[in-house]
Amino acid sequence: MDSLAPLLSLVILMVASMVIGMMANKASEKGGFLKGYFLGNRGLGSWSMALTATVMSGGTFMGFPALVYQYGWVLALWIASYMIVPLCTFAILGKRMGRLSRQTGAITLPELLRERFDSPSVGMVASLLMILVLAFGLISQFKAGAIILQKVLPTLPGVDPTSEILGQSPQFLYGLAIFTVVVLSYTLYGGFLAAVWTDLFQSVLMAIGILILFPLAMQQSGGLAAATRAGVDAVGPGFAYAPGAGREFLPPGLALSFFAMWSIAGMGQPASLVRLMAFRDTPTLRHATFLLAVYNTLIYLPLVLIFICARAILPGLERPDEVMPSLALKVASPWMAGLILAAPFGAVMATVSGFLVQISSGLVQDIYHRFLNRSATEKQLRVLSYTGMIVIAIAASAAAMKSPKFLQALIVFTGGAAACTYLVPAVMAAFWPRATAKGALSAMLAGAGTILALYIPGWISGVDPGIGEKSNFFPFYLFGIAPFVWGLLASAIAGVAVSLTDRPPDETRVNVLFS
Amino acid sequence: MQSDTSLSPLDKTRREALGVVALWILSCAWTVGYSLSAAYRQDPDPPLLFGIPTWVVWGVLLPWGVILIITCWAAFFGIKDENLDEDALAHLDTAEDLSAVEAPHG
């Protein structure tokens, strides 16, 4: 029975998520389908905002621990800017996005940009880029979900667990299939609110999981000092210092880049921006700022400490991406391990459901309803929403079989690409009356284009630049700086320059939105 | 400096946003600046405080604590409330409302 305990814990989590999906479905029905399904009727409270609006994902609980295990204490510097994420995410754009979305009646981010700039082209480009970026981001999340499940699923009868199908173990494929079905089911049923509520539920589980794992890891490693010395003995002094053990993981240029990455890129994520359109009122926003600050402190700092300890507990792990489930199964009792494993699994499920809702809203509301069929019935929109989600989930699930070795590499790319595309247009929309549609369009295209231009040569050549994360997904670090910084810079320059050379926007519209 | 009451909601929000930007610059300068001076070494016997390398304590944990306190202050006292009631806001007449597809539930 004990051997099934981790699996049973995950099954309970999956069932709970489905129940939440059903409750969300009921709550969404209070308003119209679109506003309820894609925006939760603008009724998010402080806890929902705080624990679901940032970039916690499979990366936080699977990819990040793998990096700490691999490179050591330098990861404390890598994630240091999470200290200021709550203020950046909520205090800079929060009130303006909340106000603009209400004034324009926008339900999705592309819709808000289109109405603010009075340009269907801006809306269309924003939708297409969002679908592209988020669909890519889904791949790593599906892989993370499958990795956790394969660790706890019983071996299939009559199947050799060491055999390979399509380059993957049967356990991995089995886990991937189950994960896909579960996450699709509750997201399809409950929409935005299901994604947010399950995210909230799972965020609380994550905190519990981390707080259980922390003392267990400390105890079994003999304490932080012993773990640090074990790491230094195993992989050299780089384990305790920058730029990291065994590789120039975080040279000075990248230290600066990643300080900007988490705090600034977090503001530009479509999932974060759409939540800024969905909060109830400004006290909600303030309380969410406080809650997120406390939550980030309780999550990120202990994560570093736990996986420093993992070096002493699990020396020589071949697949670093599996360090989280491996550590949980090693240090805790089976039932406790199940609860701990529910944390990363919950994080992955929450991210996937959020992405699916965003992609579906882009397809249905921003493209089909806006451009192809303005008189669509609710039934047509509902069917299309469900179909879009299913197709995207299956495609991402298939792509997960061939994704890079290190999850975090994909997550950094998609997070950076999304921020380079949306952050500057969102800031221009919120604070700059002189910003024009052509400026916003240029900002989106320049940001997305720059980051792609810096990643594509790396994918094609496959040449290891010798810095940053070791992966098979290398970008080109121009002057040692991460592509995200260049993309954001290009986006800002293009947005400002094109707006200033363009005809000023319609005064009446600007007066209403900036009154 | 203008008093809070004479500022429009937009100006208050702009001022708060600029405050966050200033804080971001300070936290970045402290964390990255200190780490550049203290973390980029290869000492085989690193100095530890409570088992943590000292550069992490002074370069990451300390600024994290300071920013946490400032964030709590901002959340309860610094950020000003604003009326976002949909009925109280000016709306775009030109905005096409495609969200009004009503569901015949049941």
Q: What's the pLDDT tens digit per position in B67-106?
A: 999 999 999 998 988 888 777 776 666 555 444 444 433 2
Name, of A53-57, A198-202, A320-324, the range with top average pLDDT: A320-324
How many residues in chain B? 106
**Helix spans in A72-108 (H):** 74-78, 85-86, 94-104
- pLDDT score for A431: 95
Residue-wise pLDDT tens digits, A208-233? 888 888 999 999 999 999 999 999 98
Identify whether the C-beta of residue A344 lies closer than 8 Å to the C-beta of residue A58: yes
What is the architecture of the domain spanning A2-403?
Answer: Up-down Bundle (1.20)
* Residue B92 confidence (pLDDT): 65
List CB contacts (< 8 A) between A96 and chain B. 10, 13
Q: Minimal Cα–Cα distance from B88 to chain A, Å?
A: 10
Residue A442, token pair as written in the block: 């240029």
Pick from A84, A285, A305: CB nearest B67: A84
CA A319 centroid distance within chain = 22
Flag whether pLDDT at A401 surpasses 60.
Answer: yes
Host H or E run for residue A479: none
Q: What is the pLDDT of residue B105?
A: 37
ipTM over 0.95? The verdict is no
Nearest CB to A32; choose among B20, B31, B99: B99
Q: What is the mean pLDDT of residues A372-382?
A: 84
The verdict on a CB contact (< 8 Å) between B31 and A370 is: no
**Which residue of B20, B61, B95 is in closest CB contact with A92?**
B20
Cβ-defined contact of A228 to B46 (cutoff 8 Å): yes
Which range has the worst mean pLDDT, A111-125, A255-269, A357-371, A400-414? A400-414
Q: What percent of chain A is modeled with pLDDT above 70?
A: 91
Is A3 at the interface with chain B, CB within 8 A?
no
Distance of alpha carbon A417 from alpha carbon B82, whole angstroms: 32
Partner A contacted by B18 (CB < 8 A): no
Q: Do A228 and B53 touch (CB under 8 A)?
A: yes
CB contact under 8 A, A282 and B84: yes
For an interface test with B, the pick among A87, A224, A228 (most B C-beta atoms closer than 10 Å) comes out as A87
- Name the nearest CA neighbour of A357 among A380, A389, A387: A389
Q: What is the dihedral of CA A68, A483, A264, A115, to 10 degrees?
A: -140
pLDDT at res. B101: 46
CA distances in angstroms from A470 to A96, A410, A463, A464, listed in the order given: 39, 12, 11, 8
Cβ contact B74–A381 (<8 Å): no
Determine which helix (DSSP H) or strand (DSSP E) holds B48, and give its type and residue range: strand B48-49
Does any CB of chain B come closer than 8 Å to the CB of residue A366? Answer: no
Q: Where are the domains of chain A?
A: 2-403
